[in-house]
Chains A and B, each alone.
Chain A
Amino acid sequence: MTAPANILEFENLQIVARIAGRDYIAIDNVSFNVAQGHARGLVGESGSGKSLTLRAIMGLLPSNVRVTSGSIKFQGIDLLADKGKYRKSVLGTGISMVFQEPSVALNPVMKIGKQITDSLVERSDLNRRQARERAIDLMDQVGIRDPEKRVDDFPFQLSGGMKQRVMIAAAIACGPELILCDEPTTALDVTIQAQIIDLFKKLRSELKVSLLYVTHDIGVVAELCDAISVMYSGRIVEQVDDINKVFSNPQHPYTKALLSAIPRIDGPIQRLKGLEKTAPSLTQRSQELAPPMTQIEPGWEIAPFEFSDLNQMWSSSSHE
């Protein structure tokens, strides 16, 4: 079996945040790719830089945050070059994005049907009726019942799960090849989560769309993704193209700890096994550059640092 071409390639991405006049390395040495038609899960705890990595693709970084080196290539062309002109040309049609919080990611004063076809209408000469028909088709495709009635609803008339379905309908409206998912199920009930994940599975098989799925829920990744990258403190600690390998035989201690971390309803709140402290916040983090990854076998690499190093990622110098 030959490996399919990569639709998205990260190479040595470094992102720096300027906070109170000082630069801090938020993301360092992030390299991975998403193969055509495949799904990669990007996992990590809050503040590990997974969302920042995702936002860098879309150019949605906050104004004090910038990419300092590396490249993000979509279909072989760097998105960070030419002042974002190429990126602009693939937004919607090539790459689209589903956000975490569907209640704020939809315009409250615009009918959902219009929002679904907003980017489609931008690039085609669909008239109002055709756009409405298309919106109804898309709503049907993402499993919204009675789309003919719902198409003229406003977001506040929908439940959270329905809103997320609307977001997904908007994301697939222009037939993108890659969908970026920024924790799309985090804000939803567990039962709705399962439905949304099923929907993503269905879209994967029907539309052959590739996914880059950011989440802190490793269970979601297990269910939906082929490949996984685990992030900690802005670095990748372990990543593998075949997700089964990491679940049966995790190599990095952090991954092991993450996989064995099953929250107990009656137990005390625990840190991950072997970690002394929580992950350091950005300004408390060591500014040392991440060492190159060690390859265990093709398509499987881990960071060469151990737990003791993770604990030492706290900066030794004190900041006021």
Chain B
Amino acid sequence: MSTMTRIKKLHINNFRLYLGIFILLTVIAMAVFASHLTKFDPIEQDLMNALQGGTDKHFLGTDNLGRDIWSRLLYGGRTDLFLATAAVLAPFIIGTIIGAICGYFSGWIDTFVMRVADVVVAFPFYVLVISLVFILGNGVSSIFIAISLVSWVAYARIVRGETLIVRSKEFIEAAQTGGISNRKIITRHVLPNVITQAVVYAMSDIVLNIGVIVTLSYFGLGIVPPTPDWGRMISEGQQFLAGGYYYLTVLPAIAVIITSLGLSFIGDGLAQLLRVKR
């Protein structure tokens, strides 16, 4: 059996990966093409038609201010997905570089950075992020900064550990005896061998970030009101639960769950794919 057919077979067997990619692409497409999928402005209020269930006009209904829920879900997904992804990319890049450098060179720089990392993880994740957002003030950029400041540590640790393993491999020595500079050894020989673990983690980290963003908005921190976002939809809908308007809360919650499931499937699928490859 040739290598290509073996790889193809592997992919077909990896159902979860494809399901995850399908779900995520659908959610992303809905967020990106939000303006084509609804004719309502997500922040336009229509108090005359507040708190209506599914109607011909608003098929998922309206919230307490008469805003179209379908439209708010789409635009809220845009906010949350964009922020969650951005808040993964920055720590992913920073943490990977730091981890590779620490693992490759070891020595005092490694000791220093890893102690800083220990200090960061010594605090509970949510406590640290919430207090950082509190200090930085509400808003998309403070959530981004707060998450980045905390979660680079995970990437640095993963990549450092993998780098330590790769570092002891003979092909690194072989590259050194070829007179290749440390910078090139890290970028060409170390990183391609360690990056996969960080990528797998990044998938689950996006899930975590969506959770964080939604939670922060739920607490009234983070995303500032008129901007639609799933967390605030859940928290604002809560007060109408008793009145039977459960869909205000349930619909954005379902959106969060579906997105998280898709990302989890991708993470699991990737992990499986890479395990088999090893």
Contact = CB atoms under 8 A, between A and B. Distances in A.
Binding partners A and B: yes
B188 A99 contact: no
B125 to A, nearest CB: 32
11 contacts: A60-B176, A88-B179, A90-B179, A92-B177, A96-B178, A106-B174, A108-B171, A118-B175, A119-B180, A122-B178, A173-B178
Q: How large is the interface on B (under 10, 10 to 19, 20 to 34, 35 or more residues)?
A: 10 to 19
Given A118-B188, A157-B3, A99 B174 contact: yes
Contact of A118 (B170, B173, B180, B192): B180
Interface residues of A, number: 30
B5 interface: no
Given A88-B179, A96-B178, A110-B189, A60 B184 contact: no
Contacts of B176: 58, 60, 91
Interface in A98-121: 99, 101, 104-110, 118-119
B171 A105 contact: yes
Given A108-B171, A109-B192, 17 more contacts: A58-B177, A91-B176, A92-B177, A92-B179, A96-B178, A97-B177, A105-B173, A106-B174, A107-B175, A107-B192, A107-B193, A118-B188, A119-B175, A119-B180, A122-B179, A167-B174, A170-B178
Given A99-B170, A157-B3, A123 B179 contact: yes
Given A104-B169, A122-B184, A157-B3, A97 B174 contact: yes
Nearest to B178: A119
Provide the main secondary structure of the chain A interface. Answer: mixed
A212 to B, nearest CB: 13
A79 B275 CA distance: 43
Nearest to A97: B177
Contacts of B177: 58, 60, 91-92, 95-97, 180
A90 to B, nearest CB: 8
B55 interface: no
Contacts of A119: 175, 178-180
Contacts, number: 70
Interface in B156-179: 169-171, 173-179
Provide the main secondary structure of the chain B interface. Answer: helix
B273 to A, nearest CB: 14
A141 interface: no
A286 interface: no
Interface of A: 58, 60, 88-93, 95-97, 99, 101, 104-110, 118-119, 122-123, 157, 167, 170, 173-174, 180
A180 B177 CA distance: 10
Interface in B166-209: 169-171, 173-181, 184, 188-189, 192-193
A159 to B, nearest CB: 15
Nearest to B191: A109
B169 A91 contact: no
Contact of A122 (B3, B173, B180, B189): B180
Contacts of B178: 91-92, 96, 118-119, 122, 170, 173-174
B176, B177, B188, most chain A CB atoms within 10 A: B177
A35 B189 CA distance: 34
Interface in B218-245: none
Contacts of B192: 107, 109-110
- The list of the 10 closest CB pairs from A to B, nearest first, reads A119-B178, A91-B179, A92-B179, A97-B177, A105-B170, A92-B178, A104-B170, A107-B171, A109-B192, A105-B174
B188 A110 contact: yes
B170 A108 contact: no
Nearest to B192: A109
